[in-house]
Amino acid sequence: MARSETAVRDRTLGAVAILVYVFLYVPIVVLVVLSFNGSGQSTTWGGFSTRWYGEMLEADDLIDGFKNTVIIATATTVIATALGTMLAIGLARHVRSTALDSLLFLPAVVPDLVLAIGLLSFFTLVGMELGRITVIASHVVFDMIFVAAIVRTRLGFFDASVEEASHDLGANRASTFVRVTLPLIAPGVAAGALVAFTLSFDEFIIAFFTAGPESLTFPIRVYTRIRFGLTPVVNAIATVLLVVSFTLILLALKLNGSATRRAIDRASAA
Asked whether residue 235 is domain-assigned, the answer is yes
Note the pLDDT of residue 268: 44
Amino acid at 120: L
Asked whether residue 11 is domain-assigned, the answer is no
**The total number of structural domains that make up the chain:** 1
| φ/ψ (deg, to 5) at 97 | -140, 130
CA 184 to chain centre: 22
As a whole number of angstroms, the distance between CA 164 and CA 247 comes to 38
Which SS3 state, helix, strand or coil, does residue 152 take? helix
Asked whether residue 121 is domain-assigned, the answer is yes
- How does pLDDT run along the chain (270 residues), one tens digit per residue? 456 767 777 788 888 888 998 888 888 888 888 888 877 666 677 777 788 888 777 778 888 888 899 899 999 999 999 999 888 888 777 766 676 777 777 777 778 888 889 999 999 999 889 989 999 999 998 898 889 888 887 777 666 667 667 766 777 777 777 777 777 778 888 888 888 988 898 888 999 999 888 888 888 888 887 776 667 777 888 888 788 778 877 776 776 666 555 544 544 444
Asked whether residue 1 is domain-assigned, the answer is no
**Who contacts 96 (Cβ-Cβ below 8 Å, separation ≥6)?**
none
| φ/ψ (deg, to 5) at 250 | -65, -40
**Cα–Cα nearest to 112, from 87, 145, 161:** 145
CATH code for the domain in which residue 260 is found: 1.10.3720.10
Q: Which domain holds residue 194?
A: 59-269
As a whole number of angstroms, the distance between CA 132 and CA 74 comes to 12
Asked whether residue 9 is domain-assigned, the answer is no
Burial of 7 (0-12, 13-18, 19+ CB in 10 A): exposed
As a whole number of angstroms, the distance between CA 31 and CA 265 comes to 42
As a whole number of angstroms, the distance between CA 22 and CA 14 comes to 12
Amino acid at 126: V
Asked whether residue 48 is domain-assigned, the answer is no
**Cα–Cα nearest to 138, from 101, 110, 100, 103:** 110
As a whole number of angstroms, the distance between CA 139 and CA 76 comes to 6
Note the pLDDT of residue 178: 72
**Dihedral (CA of 172, 173, 174, 178) sign:** positive
CA 242 to chain centre: 12
Note the pLDDT of residue 218: 84
Note the pLDDT of residue 262: 56
pTM: predicted TM-score of the whole model, two decimal places: 0.75
Note the pLDDT of residue 261: 57
Note the pLDDT of residue 270: 42
Q: What are the C-alpha distances in Å from 98 to residues 32, 105, 117, 159?
A: 44, 12, 28, 21
Residue 22: half-sphere exposure toward Cβ, Cα within 13 Å? 6
User: Mind giving me the DSSP string for 14-71?
Assistant: HHHHHHHHHHHHHHHHHHHHHTTB-SSSTTS---B--HHHHHHHH-HHHHHHHHHHHH
Note the pLDDT of residue 230: 67
Note the pLDDT of residue 42: 62
As a whole number of angstroms, the distance between CA 44 and CA 126 comes to 51
CA angle 45, 218, 133 (to 5 degrees): 170
